[in-house]
Amino acid sequence: MFSSRWHKILNDLRDDKVRTGLIVLSIAVGLFAVGTIVSSRQILLTEMDRSYRAIRPSSGTVRTLQLFDEDFVQSVRRMERVADADARRFIQAQVQVGPNEWNNLQLFAVEDYETMRVNRVRPESGAWPPPEREILIERAAIGLLNAQVGDTIIVELPNEKQRPLRIAGLAHDLIQIPAQIDGTPYAYVSFETLAWFGESYGFNELHVLATRPNDKAFAQQAVNEVKRKAENSGLTIPTVLASEPGQVPLDDILRAILLLMGVLGTLSLFLSAFLIINTVSALLTQQKRQIGVMKAVGARTGQLLGMYLSMVAVYGAIALVMAVPASRAGARALSRFLAGMFNFDLQAADMPPEAAILQVVVGLLVPSLASLYPFLSNLRVTAAEAMSAHHRLVRGALVWA
């Protein structure tokens, strides 16, 4: 009896190749979407957290109107709630991107790029640190300048002094909003280059790391204490930027994209389930006479149900063979695309084991559950009812003809 059941299953799969292909393809599409999205989400969240931790992200940034020196930075580092602090010089400059065409440029200067302690900027390519009278461009921003590494660009500071600066290389600054999204390029120079522009030495941006950075309320309190200390020292504070613990810029947008993709993947799986229900119902309608014959020779409802569920499991297994490798490649491509969009690197882009396990469970369970109702509705009939239904179907077809 076992071999005859499988013989029928294989015949059904082989005889109607269009129906088999349609069901398998619909399941595979849903599994591909689920596997790709689940894998991409896990890859991106893991790699984003790894990249973010590597730069020692700050708990907040305090920007001042007046310049301060290293002594003030050292005093902040000694504060009870402050684990570390680092300083930069920030200048809102202009860069020439075409004939009589200028764009905003956020320019930063760091005392020692090799020993940055908070919100570290990393070398990407070319020179490091930025040589005197040359400039480094944040890697996501180079496309906004109509220039390449080795080209010379004209930069103008608020003091209206313009200088030609050779692009010596690219840097990677994960703490900044990706330039292709923000529309504002970021660049890095030395203090010697600022002196060439006629700017005096000093910092106006302080990056603060709290002793309990994952405690949002505590971190905010630490940043506020630094702000009060700066104000008590005679500094004017126009801007205080608080950071969400463990979140890169635009983290909420990335998570919203992943959530939306997850919803779409789930919907595609539900659509495949509805297709399975309709196709199985049509199959059982066609096989009413076969069901009646099998019932007449002693087949029980449970045996028939097991046979048809085995057929559906075969559909799911074939779909898995197609979907798992495809979703592995899809997750890798999607993860790299989104990582590039949000300006962080992937060290690993392999499908997590739990994603493959989820695909197997869904691929075998969802088709079976989707087909369970039409199976139970059609297989509970008696042999006489099945044969009678078949004869009525045939007579109706003849009358219609």
Is residue 135 within 8 Å of 149, Cβ to Cβ?
no
Q: Are residues 64 and 45 in the same domain?
A: no
What's the token pair of residue 166?
């050779």
Q: How many other CB atoms are found less than 10 A from the CB of residue 156? A: 16
Angle between helices 251-286 and 353-379 (to 10 degrees): 30
Question: Of 196, 219, 242, which residue sits at a domain end?
Answer: 242
Question: Of 195, 219, 242, which residue sits at a domain end?
Answer: 242
Distance of alpha carbon 105 from alpha carbon 88, whole angstroms: 16
Distance of alpha carbon 24 from alpha carbon 21, whole angstroms: 5
Q: How many other CB atoms are found less than 10 A from the CB of residue 391? A: 13
Q: List the beta strands (DSSP E) in 250-401.
A: none
Distance of alpha carbon 335 from alpha carbon 46, whole angstroms: 11
Residue 57 gets which letter from DSSP? -
pLDDT, one tens digit for every residue, the chain (401 residues):
445 556 666 666 666 677 777 778 878 888 888 888 888 888 888 888 888 888 899 998 999 999 999 999 999 999 999 999 999 999 999 999 888 889 999 999 999 999 999 999 999 999 999 999 999 999 999 988 989 999 999 999 999 999 999 999 999 998 888 888 878 899 999 999 999 999 999 999 999 999 998 888 898 999 999 999 999 999 999 878 776 665 666 677 777 887 887 787 777 777 777 777 777 777 777 666 666 666 666 667 677 777 777 777 888 888 889 988 998 999 899 889 888 888 888 887 778 888 888 888 888 887 778 777 777 766 665 555 555 544 444 444 333 33
Q: Are residues 48 and 111 in the same domain?
A: no
Is residue 203 within 8 Å of 142, Cβ to Cβ?
no
Q: Are residues 30 and 64 in the same domain?
A: no
Range of the structural domain that residue 191 is part of? 60-242
Contacts of residue 86, Cβ cutoff 8 Å, sequence gap at least 6: 58, 73, 116, 117, 118, 119, 206, 207
Tell me whether strands 152-156 and 162-172 are parallel, antiparallel or unpaired. Answer: antiparallel
Q: For the chain, first and last CA: distance in Å?
A: 38
* Burial environment of residue 153 by CB neighbours within 10 A (0 to 12, 13 to 18, 19 or more): buried
Helix (H) or strand (E) holding 368: helix 353-379
Q: Are residues 132 and 91 in the same domain?
A: yes
Distance of alpha carbon 244 from alpha carbon 58, whole angstroms: 9
Number of H helices, E strands in the chain: 11, 10
pLDDT of residue 296: 67
Q: Are residues 258 and 341 in the same domain?
A: yes
Distance of alpha carbon 4 from alpha carbon 276, whole angstroms: 24
Cα 401 from chain centroid? 56
Q: Give the three-state DSSP class for 80.
A: coil
Q: Are residues 48 and 64 in the same domain?
A: no
What's the token pair of residue 169?
């290389």
Total number of domains constituting the chain: 2
Distance of alpha carbon 363 from alpha carbon 23, whole angstroms: 12
Q: Are residues 229 and 117 in the same domain?
A: yes
Is residue 170 within 8 Å of 143, Cβ to Cβ?
no
Q: Are residues 95 and 209 in the same domain?
A: yes
Contacts of residue 181, Cβ cutoff 8 Å, sequence gap at least 6: 250, 341
The closest of 48, 58, 109, 116 to 83, measured between CA atoms, is 58
Q: How many other CB atoms are found less than 10 A from the CB of residue 139? A: 20
Using the Cα atoms of residue 320, residue 325, residue 329 and residue 335 in order, give the sign of their dihedral: positive
Question: Of 208, 242, 276, which residue sits at a domain end?
Answer: 242
Q: Are residues 219 and 349 in the same domain?
A: no
**pTM for this structure?**
0.75
Q: Are residues 177 and 266 in the same domain?
A: no
Q: Are residues 233 and 87 in the same domain?
A: yes
Sequence-ordered alpha helix ranges (H) in 105-250? 179-182, 191-196, 216-232
Amino acid sitting at position 28: A
Q: Are residues 83 and 28 in the same domain?
A: no
